[in-house]
Structure 1
C-alpha cells in the first residue's frame, strides 16, 4: 500500500469532504480516504498495482478542485 497526500486550494464547504470521499472511495484500488477540511488536504491509501497517485489527482481535478501539490 502507498499513501499520497494532496494539497488542495482552500476547501470552502464541509460538503466538499463528502464529495471527494465518495468519489475516491468508490474507485478500485483506493482503500482509505481522509479529507482534512482545515488544512485542505486529501490523504489516500492505495494499491499501486491498481491505481497511481496521478490517477487519484485526476479524479480530484475532475471534481472541480484545484491541486496545489502532491506528495
Structure 2
C-alpha cells in the first residue's frame, strides 16, 4: 500500500469534503480516504498495482477542485 497526499486549493464547504471522499473511495485499489477540510488535503491509501496518485488527482480535478501538489509515501 502507498499513501497519496494531494494538496488542494482551498475547500469552501464541508459538503465538498464528502463529495471528494466518495469519488476517491470508488476508485479501484483505494483502501482508505480522509479529506482534511482545514488543511485542504486528501490522504488516500491505495494499491499501486491498481491505480496511481495521478489517477486519484484526476478524479478530484474532474469534480472541479485544483490539485496543487501530489506527494506519495
What is the TM-score normalised by the length of structure 2? 0.95
Q: What's the CA shift for 1:43? A: 0.3
Q: What's the CA shift for 1:23? A: 0.4
Q: Which runs of 5+ in 1 are unaligned?
A: none
CA distance in 2, matches of 1:52, 1:67: 14
Q: Which runs of 5+ in 2 are unaligned?
A: none
Aligned residue number for residue 5 of structure 2: 5
Runs of 4+ in 1 over 2 A off after TM superposition: none
Q: What's the CA shift for 1:65? A: 0.2
Aligned residue number for residue 53 of structure 2: 53
CA distance in 1, matches of 2:22, 2:67: 18
Q: What's the CA shift for 1:34? A: 0.3
Q: How many residues matched? A: 71
Q: What's the CA shift for 1:55? A: 0.4
Q: What's the CA shift for 1:26? A: 1.2
Aligned residue number for residue 23 of structure 1: 23
Q: What's the CA shift for 1:27? A: 1.3
